[in-house]
Each structure stands twice: as C-alpha cells, then as structure tokens.
Structure 1
Amino acid sequence: MRSSWKLVAAGLATTVVAAACGTSGAGEVAQDPTAPLELWVRTTPGGDGEKGMKKLAAAFEKASGQEVEVTAIFDDFETKLSQRAAQKDLPDLVLNDSSQLGAMVSQGIVREVDLAAVKGSDQLLEPALAAGRAGDGKTYGVPYSAQASALLIRKDWRQKVGLPVPTSWEALGALAKAFTTQDPDGNGKPDTYGLAVPGSTKRGYASWYFSNFLWAAGGDFITAQADGKYTPAMSTPASLAATTWFRDLACTTKVVQPGAATMDTPPTNETFEAGRTGMYVVGPYLLPRFDSALGKDKYEVVPMPTGPKDATVLAEGGSVYLMAGSANRAGQDAFASFAISAEGQKLGMAGEKAFIVQLPVNKTVDISSVRADPRWKVYAEAYRAHGRYAPSIPNWTAVRQSSADTINALIADCDLPVEAELKKLDTALGEALSQQGIGAS
C-alpha cells in the first residue's frame, strides 16, 4: 500500500506540473485576475460547514468583487481531488485539514505561498503559521482555523462524589475511578465509567486521542533530528510510561467505557451525552451538541490536567491551500488574506452552528469578542499556551495509523506486553519514515 501511495503521489505531481505549465514555455499559466475562483471545502454537503463557508465566500465577494463558487465534499474527498488533478483542472482553492499539508505537498498539487502577497499573514499566531510550513521550510498552507483539546467533566457527577477539578494525572485517575465505582448518576447500577475513549483503529483515532497524553508525558511518536530527519520514539522511557499509564486506565483500574477499542468518535460522543462516561478529552466543536443533549449546567470545560512533563495538547485546524495551476493567483492570495483578516475570522466564528472558525488564528482577534461563553476561552488559551500540531511530514497518516493499531491492540488485549509492542511499533515507524525519505540513518 505504501509503495502504491508513492507511485500515486509521483503521478499526481507530474500531472499537476503539466497542468501548471502554459504554452509559452515559461512554465506559467496565463493569468486572469477576474477569473472566478472554484473553492472546495471538506465538509458535509448541505450541512452547517457548507453554510458557514458560503457565508464567508459571500462576504469576500462583496468586499472584493471576486466571484467564488463553493463546493462541499466529504466522502472520497482525496479521490475526487486526484481525479481533478488527472484532468489537469484542479480547483483554485481547497480548505482542508492542516494535517494534510505534507501529503498535498508530496502530491505536488499545491503551490508555495508567498506570505508577502497574503495580507495580514504577519498577524498569524506562530503555531498556526508553523502548521502551514512543510519539512523544506517553505509555506504551502494558510491556516484559517484552529482547535485544541480540553477536558469535559460531568459537573453534577463531580459534585456528587465530592472531588475537585483534576489538575494532575493522579487526580484525573482518582476522579475517573470515583465516577466508575460510586454510582454518580444515582441509579443504583454499576453502569458509569470515568473516561470516554475513542480507541478504534479507524482513521487512527486511538493514536489521535492518545497524543494528548503522550506529549504531556514528554513522549513522542517520532522525534525530529537536526538534519530534518526523524527517528521512531514510541519505545523511549517517556513514551513507554505514558502508554503504560493510559493502558492501565482500560486494563487495571477499568475506568474506560467497555468496547472503547471498537469505538470511533460518534459512539464515544454518545457515551458522554447519554450519561455512561463522565469525562471526555475533546475539541470545542462538540459544545453545541452537548449543550443540547445534556444542558450547559450538567458539564464543565476545564484545562487538561498537567502530565509528567507539562500540559501539551493536540492542536489541529484547517488551512487554505492555494492549488497549483490556477489562472487567478491574485484571487487565491486575496481570499487567503480575507480568511485570516479580523473581519474574516470574526465572521467565521459567528453563529451557534454554521461557524467554520473554531478558534481564531489571527493574534489580534479575541474569541470573547464574538463568543461570550467563557468555555471557548478555555480552549483558546489551551491552544495558545499548550497546543501542538502533528509534524508536517510527507505522510503523517502512516505514522498515526501504525501507532493507532498498537495503542488499540494494547487496550483491547490486556495480556500484551507493552514494551515489546512498542518496540515492534518503532520498527514499523522506522520503515514508514524511510519509505518517505525522512528516516534517520
């Protein structure tokens, strides 16, 4: 599969180079600054995300006079993008996860961003700006939205068991145990659990969730070297300690919901809103859902407890990608400039559901100016102080998936030896890094 991926990436790169070359022989597509912009966004057609993006596009059109056509695609997004690359007809703009930067650069389907041409790029928060850089140090994405993790707690349960908001892993474990053993919902049945965990291998969920704990312990999946290469790091002492602690939540204290190893996020979300789990590490995008299902008074949003090293949490977000071969590069730059402007950021955050900016990436924008709810401030502060993005390597998905397979196996089979499994994982990660040309010798 990995060999096939490399061949596909090479083929796409060739395709896009051909698409980007004009007949003049100068390697340039003839430019038309009035040409309509075609924008693809990874979201459900007809959903709130599409509505929010169309709202932003309409505001940009009004401000610039530049026409934008928005297309929402969720299923088979990469496949459809590959098809358009093969047709030498890429959309002008793609709004996609920041974590896809490495793959899109490897495929050759995005152009380098000239930050001098993107007005307001000097106002971007450094973590967001760094997420737009590839391993070669060049910028290929313009981040427009961010998110980070915080801890959701059933406040009514916590008050019933008489424990404080946890600020350490030890306190987190104690509260999780109390939620599991002290009948916090008062129904007289042993049917509650301390921590909701999406431990499935699907899309690497187990690894995605675990990263919040791994990094806070000082561990890592892979470690960057001075020469830009990477080494596997899952069998280091810090990673081993973090994995063992996390595994014990499922296997020793048994404070994780049953069946966690088979659950991705949708069923895990349901355990929290249905009153089967009392804590959940998650981003701000679920607040509207849980407010409706539980009520704001039933749960609280607090910073992640500090781990053995610090309180680092997973940071993610979306980026504006300027696609190769566009006949309107000036329009691409103008849209990216509008998306990161104070006006674009505030517009993107507005609304109860149809918002496309989770947390602002423009350092001049205070989230409280749009959302008075102090819970959003908790997320914004976590992002700015403790957020960490996955590295922009050619294929982060391969690393996430391999590590998810191992984390999933360890919580599904409590007899597996942790250290031995992590050493096997490091071998697999080393092979993946070498195949991507970034493995340290």
Structure 2
Amino acid sequence: MRKQAWTLALTSVVGAAALLSGCSGGAEQNGADAGKDAGPTQISVMTVFFTPEPPGEDDVTKKEIEKNTNTKLNISWVSGNNYDDKMNVTLASGDIPELMLVLDPYHPQVQTMAAQGAFWDLTPYIKDYKHLSELPALSWQNSSINGRSYGIPRVRPLEGSGSFPLIRKDWLDKLGLPVPADMDQMYETMKAFKEKDPDGNGKNDTIGFSGLVSSDGMGSFGWVENVFNGTNGRWKEKDGKLLNTVYEPGTREALVWLTKAYQDGIIAPDFPTLKTTQVRDLITTSKAGIFADAIKPSWLLTGQMRKTNPQADLLPLTYLEGPNGKFVPKDSGVYGMYVIPTTVPEAKMKKLLQFMDYGATEEGWMLASFGLKDVHYTVKDGVIAPTEQAAKDNVGVFLHLFANLDRYERAYQTGIPADFLNRNKQIIDERAKYSVADPAVGLNSETYLKIGKDYDKKIQDLKVKIILGREPIAAWDEFVAKLKADAQYRKIDEEINAEYAKRKGK
C-alpha cells in the first residue's frame, strides 16, 4: 500500500525526471516506446477550476510540474459553474484537446463518441504504466464504458463519503451506552437520546436523529434502507443481476422501522421540510444526537460545539449490521475521467499516459494538491498545514488534473487535532473491511431518463406518508404490487440489467 501524506512525514520531492524523463525518456520504466527526448512535450488540456481565478501562465505549481515532466502545458481552465456546457460544446465540435476532462463518463454523448472511436481505448496500454495501473480497480471499473477504459479516471478516495450516521460520543458516554452496532441498538440509542436528558439540562428537549429527504429520494435517511437491504443505493446485485430494491423486503422493513421511530418522537418531526443547515443546527445546538453525512464534517461540527462544550464529540460510525450483514457505503472512487481523442497519434498518446502516470505518483499528487513543501505547506504530527504563501500562489487547483492518492482525505478538516484525525483514519481503515459499493454507478436506462423521476417522486411521496402515519404499511405492499405489474417501470429494470451485462462484458 502506498504511503499516504496524512500518515507519515513526507519525503522530499526527488527523482521526478528519472520517473518521467520529459514524458519521453521514461519508456524503459513504463514499457512504452516513446523514443528519444526531443525537448518539452507540448500538451493541450481542458479541465475545471473552482477558485475565483484560474492559474496563470506563470503559476508556481504549473511551472514545477512542467519542470519535473519536461512538458509545456497549454491548459484551458473552465469554471465549474459552466463546465458541463463547455464540455458538451467542445465534444460536439470535434476539436478536442489532447487531454480533456469529462465529468460524467456515462453521459450519452460520451458513450456514443467512445463507441464511434472518437477516444483512444486505453485498455491494452494501462498495464505498461506502473502508477496508473496501481490506481484502484473500482475507479477504473466505474469509469469504463462497456468494459473498456476510454479515459484515465479522476480518482477520488473510496472510503469516508456517503451519508452514514455520526453520533454524539459524549452523549453515549454520559448515558453509559455502547456505540450502536446494529439497527436494534441504533433504535435504542436514539430512544435514549430522546428520553434520558443526554445534554444534562434537565429538560426533555432532545431527539435521536436529525435528517432530511428530497422530493424524489430518501436523502439522509437513505442509510436505513441501505442497511436493511445490504446494498448501496437503488440496486442490489444478486446472482449476476441487479434487483430494484423498491421490491425488496428490506425497503419495507426500513419503512416500518422509520414509522415507529417517528411515532416514538425520536426523529425530527419536521424532517420532510428540513434543509441541510437546519439539520446541522440541531446537532450543534445539542437538540439532536445523530445525523447522517460523510466523515469530513465530524470535526467541523465538533470544533464548533467545543467552543462552548469542550466534551462535545461527533463519532462517525464504522458500520451498522442489518439482515444481510455489516454495511457502510463505499464511494465510486471516481469523479470523471480524462479522455484522449484518436486524432492524437499513438506515440503522443503514450506520452500523455506517461504524463498522467507522473500525476499518479505521490510526488505528483502532493505537488498538484499542496504545492511545494516548506513553501506552501508544512507537516506536523502527520497533519498538513498550508502557509500564507499557498493562498497567495493559488495552490491546489491542479488537484483536478491528477489522481487523489490520499485514502484518508475525507478524514481531514482544517484545524483538526491529531488525535481526532487519527481516529477518523482508523474508522476509514475499518470501513474498508465492510464497505459496499454501488453496483449501478453510471448505468443508464432510456426509459428512466424519460419517466423515471416521475416514478421516484410517487415512491418518495408514499414513503413519507407512511412514515408520518398518513398511510398504512399495507399501502406500500399494494403500490409495489402495481409497480411489478407496470410494464413501463419493469422496462427500467430490464434496461439497467442490459447495461450491467454489457459492463461485465457479457
């Protein structure tokens, strides 16, 4: 396992030229026949930025990357506010940069162009690039099209994202309760948070769980269904096929569980109308003891609470056990990919792969993400701290170009103490043993695109009515029976499974 920046003291940046040798001299190491070095390799790139201004031509990080890779980068930076529009126009024009970020590998236009041969099929080449081939298999899988790699995944950490419970550990300690490990214990914990005055103010003014829903989905209550179904999201893999969890008994069990929780007053009574800020406010004002989110906000909210309550402590749960075993969500491991158009000659394509191979090293990733050590950041107790110069030099924008190699990135939050960070890292390590990936990432259904959201809204509307006690659970059984007999809705299942079979190469 590659050493990570959050866990170990960082080594100095050395050997870049030996690794890449100008995107051309690294052929012996990478197994690609790039030929003799002919000076800096010119590379045109289109990618995204989210800062007030994009990096300029004299950007410090850009110059350092160019020096280490013997390249000259011509980057078209596009604001995240309109990247989708610019991407679509660029793809349609056919005038595609040599490296271009597509945010959604499964966008119909991207899939069509891949099928028509517009992008290099990189599948047979990746094995020759040591660091690219070491990227998580799930990242490659979840950016593949019909089982082939038409782009280099924009890698993101696998663990620590997704909506899963965080719990007031100080409340557990005060009430002498263990960390809940299954849904029965979770229920009893929520009930105790409601009834046993965990904040010690002598008032009956706390609830167990604070969450929200959307008009077409369960939002931060989705983890309840996921635990009962033992899957991540709408689809469950069984015997090589995907089952729609709307039909699964786990979804019904989740509704029964949530209905009882609502009747017992242990979840926010106004959950159908709550916003994210309101959910978090209920936590930071000690009105609720549990909410669902990624790991990253654990310190953000704990730090806010400790200003008035030094004992406050939000603990991300490692897993919850349901009828199908232990569950915690795993991320897709990818957020877009970089395609190379087939207008680029094969020899140049290999140089581009060598450039991205450098970006998949810890050295390249650290440079793109944090800039120069002891100039833009320092490291103490395994925690990276940016300097004032980092802000002046607009450091960090290039992280959108290279892979994110830090498996603990979602454990970190600015200002986090070392002990809190270390606990978050341990939780991520434990989650990796049990986490479940979404088997349907990127799968498309033409029927769903046309009518799926209408069904989603009807499904969600009935779920909320059942939880609120306005409809009996029998209404769910009747509704599911109708969906099973609905030819249009079943067509979504068929199309998703057809896509799934293609992804698996069947």
TM over 0.5: yes
Q: SS where residue 292 of structure 1 aligns?
A: helix
Q: Percent identity?
A: 16
Structure 1 position 216, deviation (Å): 5.3
Match of residue 265 from structure 2? 254
Residue type matched to 2:498 in 1? I
Residue type matched to 1:269 in 2? R
Residue type matched to 1:78 in 2? D
Residue type matched to 1:244 in 2? V
**d(CA) in 2 for partners of 1:113 and 1:273?**
48
Aligned pairs (5 A) from 1:125-274: 125-134=136-145, 136-140=146-150, 141-146=152-157, 147-148=159-160, 149=162, 151-201=165-215, 206=218, 210-211=222-223, 213-214=225-226, 217-218=229-230, 221-223=234-236, 230-249=242-261, 251-263=262-274, 265-274=276-285
> Is structure 2 residue 94 aligned with structure 1 residue 88?
yes
Q: SS where residue 330 of structure 2 aligns?
A: strand
Q: SS where residue 381 of structure 1 aligns?
A: helix
**d(CA) in 1 for partners of 2:290 and 2:75?**
41
- Which 10-residue stretch deviates more, 238-247 or 326-335? 326-335
**CA distance 1:419–1:300, shift in 2 (3 Å):** same
After superposition, the C-alpha distances for 1:283-322 in whole angstroms (9 at most, x for unaligned) are: 2332452243234852223312212212232222434512
Structure 1 position 378, deviation (Å): 0.8
Which residue of 45, 64, 69 maps to 1:64?
69
After superposition, the C-alpha distances for 1:297-350 in whole angstroms (9 at most, x for unaligned) are: 522233122122122322224345123537464464245423432334556497
> Is structure 2 residue 84 aligned with structure 1 residue 78?
yes
After superposition, the C-alpha distances for 1:174-223 in whole angstroms (9 at most, x for unaligned) are: 1111122333223444443212323123xx66257515642553366334
**d(CA) in 2 for partners of 1:36 and 1:152?**
44
Which residue of 429, 432, 438 maps to 2:492?
432
Aligned pairs (5 A) from 1:316-327: 316=331, 317-323=333-339, 325=341, 327=344
After superposition, the C-alpha distances for 1:214-265 in whole angstroms (9 at most, x for unaligned) are: 2553366334577x7655342122333234334543x333322233223454
Report if aligned partners of 2:195, 2:204 keep a CA contact under 8 Å in 1.
yes
After superposition, the C-alpha distances for 1:388-419 in whole angstroms (9 at most, x for unaligned) are: 13423443896799557624641355323333
**d(CA) in 2 for partners of 1:268 and 1:57?**
40
Report if aligned partners of 2:194, 2:266 keep a CA contact under 8 Å in 1.
yes
Aligned pairs (5 A) from 1:403-418: 403=456, 406-407=459-460, 409-412=462-465, 414=468, 415-416=470-471, 417-418=475-476
> Is structure 2 residue 47 aligned with structure 1 residue 40?
yes
> Is structure 2 residue 304 aligned with structure 1 residue 304?
no
Residue type matched to 2:148 in 1? K
Report if aligned partners of 1:176, 1:194 keep a CA contact under 8 Å in 2.
yes
Match of residue 435 from structure 2? 386
Match of residue 113 from structure 1? 122
**d(CA) in 2 for partners of 1:62 and 1:212?**
50
After superposition, the C-alpha distances for 1:410-436 in whole angstroms (9 at most, x for unaligned) are: 135532333334455665653434566
Match of residue 107 from structure 2? 103
**CA distance 1:366–1:178, shift in 2 (3 Å):** closer
**CA distance 1:361–1:81, shift in 2 (3 Å):** closer
**CA distance 1:240–1:337, shift in 2 (3 Å):** farther
TM-score by length of 1: 0.71
Aligned pairs (5 A) from 1:280-295: 280-295=291-306
After superposition, the C-alpha distances for 1:336-366 in whole angstroms (9 at most, x for unaligned) are: 4234323345564974696969xx9769x78
Match of residue 9 from structure 1? none
Structure 1 position 384, deviation (Å): 5.1
**d(CA) in 2 for partners of 1:340 and 1:425?**
46
Report if aligned partners of 1:153, 1:278 keep a CA contact under 8 Å in 2.
yes
More helix by share: 1
How many residues are paired up? 395
- Which 10-residue stretch deviates more, 271-280 or 66-75? 66-75
Report if aligned partners of 2:360, 2:405 keep a CA contact under 8 Å in 1.
yes
Report if aligned partners of 2:139, 2:334 keep a CA contact under 8 Å in 1.
no
**d(CA) in 1 for partners of 2:278 and 2:454?**
20
Match of residue 363 from structure 2? 343
- Which 10-residue stretch deviates more, 235-244 or 417-426? 417-426
Residue type matched to 1:386 in 2? S
**d(CA) in 2 for partners of 1:138 and 1:409?**
40
**d(CA) in 1 for partners of 2:247 and 2:363?**
46
Q: SS where residue 418 of structure 1 aligns?
A: helix
Residue type matched to 2:441 in 1? S
Report if aligned partners of 1:60, 1:338 keep a CA contact under 8 Å in 2.
no
**d(CA) in 1 for partners of 2:221 and 2:366?**
29
Structure 1 position 163, deviation (Å): 1.3
Match of residue 313 from structure 1? 328
**d(CA) in 1 for partners of 2:60 and 2:490?**
44
**CA distance 1:259–1:106, shift in 2 (3 Å):** farther
- Which 10-residue stretch deviates more, 348-357 or 284-293? 348-357
Residue type matched to 1:221 in 2? R
Residue type matched to 2:358 in 1? F
TM-score by length of 2: 0.63
Structure (1 or 2) with the larger CA radius of gyration: 2
**d(CA) in 2 for partners of 1:305 and 1:75?**
37
RMSD of aligned alpha carbons: 4.4
